[in-house]
Every structure is written in structure tokens, then in C-alpha cells.
């Protein structure tokens, strides 16, 4: 797998039983890259380990006054240096590729899970936590994947060097092997505390990110009520707690680094003392002493890699657990099979027929425009989500049925192909109008017809003046982030045009005209009825202009259908309905009901 091949065609189905199993699954997904990094790392450190041997040979050649052996040793040193440089280059390239491909795989999995869950995600995991997982945690997971191959190469070369020293000089070799084991084992008692502190720091960091994202999202409301300072103080406290946790975590790693300096230093002193003793007794020559000293000095390099890998593993474990927490979320349908079967991204045709909600008794007949009036706006929003195939909350009945098929029991792609829900505050991403309208669609409705039905003429005029190339072509007009350069009504109409362009079998709209004037709303109601003729459309609204265009109006009260019929008929026959639509006072409503 090369970086140019990203994104992955299929990121796979992760093992989400635990964070460690998830890391193991990541390794299995790129065994080829790990094997390459192991090979290049072994060659690189093997060449470094060969330098003390060659230096010892050179010294022996000088002592023996052998020019031929000295020239041969020099040539070998040159070859070793060239191989070392080349292997180091390829190791870095392969390791970074492993890092990026692993991080890209995790990000694709997170994006796929986020798209699968939709609005359910933020009801289970805070938005700031999701952002933290998809940025910092992904980087830490990739760091461990990248460092593990170099760690494995260091283990291979370290074991080889220790074995060679034992064969060459058993007393020194056993001393070095025991010292290396002591250096490595000296870190393990400190790792549990380091892991706990890293997890604590990560929790504080996630909390700060959550507060920051919530504050930015509600900045306009906070300014309106004068609450900026209150939330700023909360973020300051969270930020200071995160800083204190980071300092505490850094102290632990400073202690680990200190141990990793002191222990190898003591080992080096012991080896030099023992080597000097053997040289004084005539058991080691000058070149042999330099070789042993150089080999021990080399071992300090892989020992540092052991520390780096331990640090990467310490930080990646909590990151992997948090990633698994998001990746393990499922749509909680009755059967649950819909979520597992629909992750392959296949485009499947959805069911057709009447759309019904068993919890309220609501029925939207196929091919008709149905308006739904609810006394409680919050309940209307939840009902719109449920009939769109979102999973039911605890205590609610199952999701809606389309043609007798439960939407939460079929693959997600089929549910979304059948029913599209536009909520009250749809998101418009930055880019050109052409990019905004570049969405999956049936092809039956073109962009011009959708924009005309949504009454976007003034929006097109505004965008024609915002083209980057000066062409004054509305489709090339540039939208800022969330289309903040447009008014609320203009954003609402653009979102409606995008939904109409997709032309789903069932379109559910939640208050699609709440931000437009009455004249524009009347035109949108007529355009919606004409463009969606023969398609099932459900509109949650209390606007008389929209209700008058509906084929059928369903009045939902106290969680159940209270009345069904044309708008004008319900105005005469249902006082409670009239009170909601005409905004009558509670007193008038009660008087009419009593009469």
C-alpha cells in the first residue's frame, strides 16, 4: 500500500472488542508494510552494529602494520556507510507510509461510522470527543503503528549483538545481555502509572475540546444572552486542568527518560571496567576492546527505541479504546442487521409504499403530499427523525414502516435511498453552488427545476456577484462556511433545493419555510406540490400556506394522531388543531372545546 493509493478502497471491518484487539487488527491489515519496515530497519541497525567490528579490524590492521587489511577494512566501512544511509532512507519512507496509511484507515472507518449513525452519533458521544478521536487519537494510533516496526528491528539486532558478544567473549557477553535486560525491565514498573496519567490527560483534553466546540457552536446565542464570560471561565478551568494533567504526565516521562539515561550509563561503565580488566590481563587486544566498547555504545540506540515504543504504546492504548467506542456504535434497530449489512457502501433500492409510524398511528400515503402538525415543536423534530428511519429512543416503539418494512431493520443504504429527512437546521458546506448541488440524485429532477421550486431566484442573483472568476455564473458562485454570507431564509431555500434535487422516494421536511416571508412561502408550497407530484412527501409545519397545499393533514397531539383530513375541514371540525395553526390563546381553545 502506497500513499498515492489512498484512500483505501475498502478500509475493512475492524475488531472493536477492545482497543488492543483493534491495534492488532490494524497490524494485520498492513503486514506487507510492516515486513518492509522490519527488513529495512534490520539492515540499517545491522550496518550500524557492524561499524564497531570494522573499527576494531582497522585498529588491529594498524597494530599489525598491514596496509592491505587496512585498505580492505576501509572499503568495507564505505560499503557499510552507503548501505546504512540507503537503508535509513527506505526505513523512514516505509515507516511514515505505515503511519499515514494506518491513520487514513482509521479516519475512513470513523467517517463511515459517522455517516452510518447520522444524527444518532451526537446523542451518544459528544461532538468534541468525536473531533478529538478523529485528529489527536488517530495520530497517536498511527505513531504506534509506525514505531513498532522499528522496535521489532531493534529487538532482532539487539539479540544478535548480545548473542555475538556471548560467543566472542562469554563473560562480557553475559554482562551486556544482563545489563540490557535490566535496562529494559527498569521501565516496566513505571508504565502502569504512565498509562493512567496519559488516560487522565486525554480525558481532560477531550473535555476541553468538547467545551470549545460547544461554545463556538452556540456563540451567537451566548452573545445574545451575555453568556460569553461564563463559558469562557468554564473553558479556562478546563484548560488549566488539562495543563496540570499534562505537566503531571510529562513528569512521569521525564522520570522514565532519566532511568533510561542512568541505567545504560551504569552498563557502559561496567562493560568498560570489565573490558579494561580483560585487556590488562592480555585476554583482549586493543582492537577487540574497541569492538566491545563500540557494540555496547551501539546498544544505547535500540534501547532508546524501546522507550519510544513504550511511550507510543502508552498513548495509543487509550486512543484506540476511544476510537473503538465510536466505531462500536450501532444503529439500535430491533434486528440490528441493517447496520451490519449496510456497511459495504453498496447502492441498494429501498422499499416503497405507505409510510406509517406505529407509535403515533401516522400514515403518509404513497405519492401524496402529507402535512403533519404537532403541538410541541420538539416532538415534531423527534417524530421527523423516527419516520426517517432513525432508531427509536428508549421507551419508544420501533421505527417507521415503509410499505410494511421496518426502516431500522434494513441496511442503512436502503433506508436512506428510500427516505430523506431534512431537519430544521441543515448544514451547507463551503464551496460553489455547483459543488453544493453535486449530490446523489435520481436524475428525474434537474438543478434548475429544484432551484425554481424552492424560489431561489434572489439567491442566484446574489451568488452571481460572488463568483471567484468574475463570470457571474450563479453555479460558480462561492458559498462561505455554512453559507453565512446568505440570510437565514436564503440558506433554508438552498437546502430545500438540494433535497428536491435528490428526488427520493419519500422526502421528509421539518419546517422548511420557517425563515421566509409569506409571499415566498406560498410560492414554495406550490412549487413543492408540483415538483413532488407522484412522490411521497411529508412536511412538518404549522403554516396555513403550506397546509392548504397538502393532500392530507395529520394532527398529532399527546403522542398520537388526533385528527386527519384537509386543512380547511380540520379548521372547522378540530378546535385544538385550529388553536395550533392560528395561534389562538389557551382560553379560547378551552372555551371552544367545552362548547
Domain carrying residue 121:
15-327
Residue 271 lies in a domain: yes
Q: How far is it, in rounded angstroms, from Cα 319 to Cα 539?
A: 42
Angle 495-497-500 from CA coordinates, rounded to 5°? 110
**Residues 309 and 352 both lie in one domain:** no
**Residues 286 and 424 both lie in one domain:** no
pLDDT tens digits for range 513-542:
888 888 999 999 999 999 999 999 999 998
**Residues 312 and 385 both lie in one domain:** no
The three grid cell numbers given for residue 285, joined into one nine-digit string? 587486544
Comparing CA positions, the residue from 205, 200, 197 lying closest to residue 126 is: 205
pTM exceeds 0.75 for this model: no
**Residues 424 and 494 both lie in one domain:** yes
Residue 343 lies in a domain: no
Using CA atoms of 569, 571, 573, 574 in order, give the dihedral in degrees to the nearest 10.
Answer: 130
The pLDDT mean for the chain works out to 81
pLDDT band at 403 (very low <50, low <70, confident <90, very high): confident
Q: How far is it, in rounded angstroms, from Cα 546 to Cα 523?
A: 10
**Residues 320 and 405 both lie in one domain:** no
CATH number of the domain to which 230 belongs: 1.20.1560.10
**Residues 320 and 454 both lie in one domain:** no
Check pLDDT > 50 for residue 335.
no
> CA dist 3 to 25, 95, 103, 148, 372, Å?
20, 12, 11, 19, 50
Residue 165 lies in a domain: yes
Residue 173 lies in a domain: yes
Q: Domain count for the chain, please give it.
A: 2
pLDDT band at 249 (very low <50, low <70, confident <90, very high): confident
| Contact call for residues 303 and 264 (beta carbons, < 8 A) | yes
Residue 10 lies in a domain: no
Residue 406 lies in a domain: yes
Q: How far is it, in rounded angstroms, from Cα 505 to Cα 513?
A: 21
pLDDT tens digits for range 414-427:
777 788 888 777 77
- When mean pLDDT is compared across 20-34, 86-100, 112-126, 314-328, the lowest value belongs to 112-126
pLDDT tens digits for range 269-326:
887 787 777 777 777 666 667 777 777 777 777 777 777 787 788 778 888 888 888 8
Q: How far is it, in rounded angstroms, from Cα 308 to Cα 321?
A: 20
Can you point out the beta strands (E) in 448-500? 478-479
Residue 337 lies in a domain: no
**Residues 212 and 286 both lie in one domain:** yes
**Residues 385 and 353 both lie in one domain:** yes
**Residues 144 and 76 both lie in one domain:** yes
**Residues 52 and 99 both lie in one domain:** yes
Q: Within 13 Å and on the Cβ side, how many CA atoms surround 331?
A: 34
Residue 7 lies in a domain: no
Amino acid at each position: 500500500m502506497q500513499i498515492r493509493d489512498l484512500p483505501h478502497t475498502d478500509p475493512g471491518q475492524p475488531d472493536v472488542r477492545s482497543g488492543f484487539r483493534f491495534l492488532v487488527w490494524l497490524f494485520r491489515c498492513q503486514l506487507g508494510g510492516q515486513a518492509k519496515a522490519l527488513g529495512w530497519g534490520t539492515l540499517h541497525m545491522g550496518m550500524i552494529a557492524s561499524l564497531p567490528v570494522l573499527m576494531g579490524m582497522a585498529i588491529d590492521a594498524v597494530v599489525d602494520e598491514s596496509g592491505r587489511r587496512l585498505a580492505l577494512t576501509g572499503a568495507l566501512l564505505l560499503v557499510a556507510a552507503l548501505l546504512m544511509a540507503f537503508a535509513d532512507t527506505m526505513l523512514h519512507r516505509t515507516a511514515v507510509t505505515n503511519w499515514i496509511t494506518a491513520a487514513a484507515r482509521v479516519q475512513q472507518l470513523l467517517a463511515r461510522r459517522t455517516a452510518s449513525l447520522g444524527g444518532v452519533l451526537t446523542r451518544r458521544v459528544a461532538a468534541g470527543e468525536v473531533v478529538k478521536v478523529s485528529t489527536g487519537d488517530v495520530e497517536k494510533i498511527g505513531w504506534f503503528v509506525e514505531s513498532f516496526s522499528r522496535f521489532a528491528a531493534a529487538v532482532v539486532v539487539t539479540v544478535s549483538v548480545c548473542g555475538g558478544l556471548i560467543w566472542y567473549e562469554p563473560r562480557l557477553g553475559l554482562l551486556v545481555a544482563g545489563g540490557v535486560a535490566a535496562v529494559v525491565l527498569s521501565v516496566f514498573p513505571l508504565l502502569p502509572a504512565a498509562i493512567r496519567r496519559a488516560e487522565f490527560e486525554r480525558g481532560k483534553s477531550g473535555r476541553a475540546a468538547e467545551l470549545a466546540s460547544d461554545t463556538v457552536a452556540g456563540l451567537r446565542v451566548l452573545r445574545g444572552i451575555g453568556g460569553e464570560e461564563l463559558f469562557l471561565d468554564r473553558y479556562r478551568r478546563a484548560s488549566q486542568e488539562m495543563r496540570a494533567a499534562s505537566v503531571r504526565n510529562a513528569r512521569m516521562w521525564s522520570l522514565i527518560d532519566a532511568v533510561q539515561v542512568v541505567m545504560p550509563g551504569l552498563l557502559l561503565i561496567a562493560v568498560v571496567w570489565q573490558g579494561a580488566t580483560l585487556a590488562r590481563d592480555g585476554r583482549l587486544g586493543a582492537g577487540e576492546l574497541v569492538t566491545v566498547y563500540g557494540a555496547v555504545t551501539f546498544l544505547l540506540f535500540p534501547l532508546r527505541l524501546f522507550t519510544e515504543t513504550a511511550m507510543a504504546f502508552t498513548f495509543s492504548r487509550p486512543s484506540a479504546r476511544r476510537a473503538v467506542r465510536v466505531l462500536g456504535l450501532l444503529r439500535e434497530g430491533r434486528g440490528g442487521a441493517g447496520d451490519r449489512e449496510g456497511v459495504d457502501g453498496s447502492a441498494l433500492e429501498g422499499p416503497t409504499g405507505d409510510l406509517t409510524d406505529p407509535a403515533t398511528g401516522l400514515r403518509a400515503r404513497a405519492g401524496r403530499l402529507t402535512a403533519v402538525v404537532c403541538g410541541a415543536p420538539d416532538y415534531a423534530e423527534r417524530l421527523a427523525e423516527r419516520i426517517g428511519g432513525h432508531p427509536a429512543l428508549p421507551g419508544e416503539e420501533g421505527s417507521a414502516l415503509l410499505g410494511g418494512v421496518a426502516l431500522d431493520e434494513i441496511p442503512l443504504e436502503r433506508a436512506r435511498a428510500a427516505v430523506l429527512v431534512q431537519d430544521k437546521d441543515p448544514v451547507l458546506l463551503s464551496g460553489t453552488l455547483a459543488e453544493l448541488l453535486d449530490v446523489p440524485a435520481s436524475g428525474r429532477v434537474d438543478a434548475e427545476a429544484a432551484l425554481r421550486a424552492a424560489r431561489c431566484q434572489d439567491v442566484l442573483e446574489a451568488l452571481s456577484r460572488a463568483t471567484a472568476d468574475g463570470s457571474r455564473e450563479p453555479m460558480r458562485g462561492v458559498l462561505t462556511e455554512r453559507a453565512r454570507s446568505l440570510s437565514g431564509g436564503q440558506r433554508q431555500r438552498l437546502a430545500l433545493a438540494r433535497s428536491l434535487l435528490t428526488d427520493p422516494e419519500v422526502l421528509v421536511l421539518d419546517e422548511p419555510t420557517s425563515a421566509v416571508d409569506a409571499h415566498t412561502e406560498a410560492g414554495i408550497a406550490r412549487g413543492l406540490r408540483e415538483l413532488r407530484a407522484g412522490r411521497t412527501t411529508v412536511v412538518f409545519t404549522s403554516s396555513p400556506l403550506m397546509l392548504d397545499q397538502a393532500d392530507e393533514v395529520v394532527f398529532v397531539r399527546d403522542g398520537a394522531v388526533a385528527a386527519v383530513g384537509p386543512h380547511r375541514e380540520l379548521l372547522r371540525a378540530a378546535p385544538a388543531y385550529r388553536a395550533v395553526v392560528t395561534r389562538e390563546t389557551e382560553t379560547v381553545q378551552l372555551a371552544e372545546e367545552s362548547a
